[in-house]
Structure 1
Amino acid sequence: MGKQLLRSGTSVLANYIEANSASSKKDFINFFTHALKSANESKVWLTLLRDTDKGDRTELEWLLKELIEIANVLASSILILKGKR
């Protein structure tokens, strides 16, 4: 689970950085969408780690809370960029 969390967690950051140098609005939205998908996958791994007592519960809950906020910002940004908000 740790390796999968590392992969999905770093993918959020990598896609966010790529979005900042996107050549078009469509590419920007695509990178944000990939970042959101990776954030959602990371939530799964953090939840599994928390629920199977594979780490400090308080720290994992804090990380989950932060990740949910990041995912919400990404989702809202995507909707705004698509003109749906």
Structure 2
Amino acid sequence: MTEARNSKQYDLEDRTLAFARAVREFVKSLKPTTANIEDGKQLVRASGSVGANYIEANESLGKKDFLMRIRICKEESKESRYWLRLVDACGEKKLEIPRQELIQEATELMNIFGSILRKSE
């Protein structure tokens, strides 16, 4: 593996970790309604799964395993975006900005993993 690819690989690992951490901070700030608690759990799981599966993809045993893990990363990014749209910010404008930023990041991650898939297949 070349050093340039290695650097990009770890940048994406760091980016997915930062996304999962930012999601956790966002979820902590939500009003603890029954729906937000349940939706927040799903959001936390999906956002953490993006990075965990990316790490697994980098340690894959072959191309088929790599592609499967990258597909999961893309699906979990899409799921994170769904849960971010679903949680109730209760009309608080201070929560709308971070939510929109997280939705944007989930969308960008989804597009990145989609691009990796297209180039790898």
Q: Structure 2-normalised TM-score?
A: 0.63
Q: Which one has a bigger Cα radius of gyration? A: 2
The one-letter code sitting in structure 1 at the alignment partner of 2:72 is H
Which consecutive unaligned segments of at least 5 residues does structure 1 have?
none
Identity of aligned residues (%): 35
Amino acid at match of 1:41: E
Show the counterpart of 1:42: 80
Aligned positions of 1:63-74 closer than 5 A: 63-74=102-113
Report the TM-score when normalising by structure 1. 0.89
C-alpha deviations, 1:28-80, integer Å up to 9, x for none? 0000001111111111000112xx32560000000111111111000011011
- TM-superposed deviation, 1:25: 0.8
Structure 2: distance between partners of 1:73 and 1:18 = 16
SS of 1:23 mapped into structure 2: coil
Aligned length: 80
Q: What code does the residue aligned with 1:73 have? A: I
Structure 2 CA distance for aligned equivalents of residues 4 and 26 of structure 1: 27
RMSD over equivalenced CA pairs, Å: 1.1
Q: Unaligned stretches of 5+ in structure 2?
A: 1-38
CA distance in 2, matches of 1:40, 1:68: 7
Q: CA deviation at 1:11?
A: 0.6
2:59 to 11, 17, 21: 21
1:53 corresponds to 2:53? no
Equivalent position amino acid for 1:53 in 2: A
